[in-house]
Structure 1
Amino acid sequence: MASLYVGDLHHDVTEGMLYEKFSPVGAIHSIRVCRDSITWRSLGYAYVNFQQPADAEHALDTLNFDVIKGHPVHIMWTQHDPSLRESGVGNIFIKNLEKSIDSKALYDTFSGFGNILACKVACDENGSKGYGFVHFENHEAAERAIGRLNGMMFNDQKVFVGRFKTRKEREAELGAQFANFNIESFGEESSVFSKYGEFNSCDNFVRSKV
């Protein structure tokens, strides 16, 4: 655990620039900026490998979201087990964020609840979109953060903090709510129709004899 992922890099950032940034923290084993195999253009992220885990941890604590060539960089432990990211375990969603809240402020607020694998405020050309994501290493840390911070005042705005749900999960929930609404509405209508008749197996209305 002496390897750090460094993301959100400006495309002109080189290994030399990263060495200048990280080497004062401790002895560097290697640095690799990931590049397109054809154009050799930077993909916007790199790996910085320290000789000692303690130095990597210190770099994570002190350099995360520091600016390199105008971009605040995102640093986290290199995740060798991709299943942790793909499973969604430990992922939480935060919304109603005040516009001045950036990724560093979000990280500083949530890091006290456990080890963070990723943390980001969603932005566009106009700045923050008012929501963000935090991915903890485990479910327990995420639940602690949700329990303590959901509904809190963050820069004079009450924020929502909850478990992140994939689009499929949200669509499934919406579909279930819509189905329940239709069933309940249909039930009310059928109770009225039952005064006059009944539905047969083909859902055709059969008027009862008076």
Structure 2
Amino acid sequence: MYSLNNVSLEINQGEIFGLLGPNGAGKTTLISMLCGLIKPTSGHFTIDDLNYRQNSRKIKKIIGVVPQEYALYPTLTARENLLYFGSMYGLKGSYLKDKVTETMDLLGLLKFADKPIETFSGGMKRRINLIAGILHNPKVLFLDEPTVGVDVQSRNAIIDYLKVLNQNGTTIIYTSHHLGEAEDFCTKIAILDRGRIFAQGTPKSLIATTADARNLEDVFISLTGKDFRDGI
């Protein structure tokens, strides 16, 4: 995994911003810093005009985080998990219960609400993982590989729901290895490798300015190369 080196980004309100790069490029490190999970050793950033050094608590109240790993308690039911995570955001009472019911229904999970998470398929866990990060209606939502390892139906349901959230005002910052998905989903993209930003722009502009590129995958390979990035 690379440390970040002179990374500079401006993400506008309402964008769906994709952070793309090979394994170990620094994507998760960058998101972890922006979420307050890792302290930068230098540099600075603001979210919603809040400087992270002076306003870390305020920032945490307006962001949502959906990690790549499932952040769920396997022996609890889906409903119990979501009520717990919602209460951590300060939600309570009938509002929280209604919000949990509404979002599970929208993502096709309501009939499984009282089943333990350990009985769920990967796609179902992904959808519950997503709901846990958006119950408090965050202004900015960070997603680390939200559709990894899921079936086509679950992937479509997740992407469609994220588009609705974005249309309702949530800015989305997203990492993925599904380049076709990112090309269709993102309004702007930055390609990160070895801890540095190699290119950023709209998917169409990156394709147009890369020689012989027909799609985002061609751009990605052109910038990051064909070498394997396996590591232990």
- TM-score category (smaller protein): under 0.3
More helix, by proportion? 2
More strand, by proportion? 1
TM-score by length of 2: 0.24
Structure number with the bigger relative contact order (C-alpha 8 A, sep ≥ 6) is 2
Q: Looking at CA atoms only, which structure, 1 or 2, has the larger radius of gyration?
A: 1
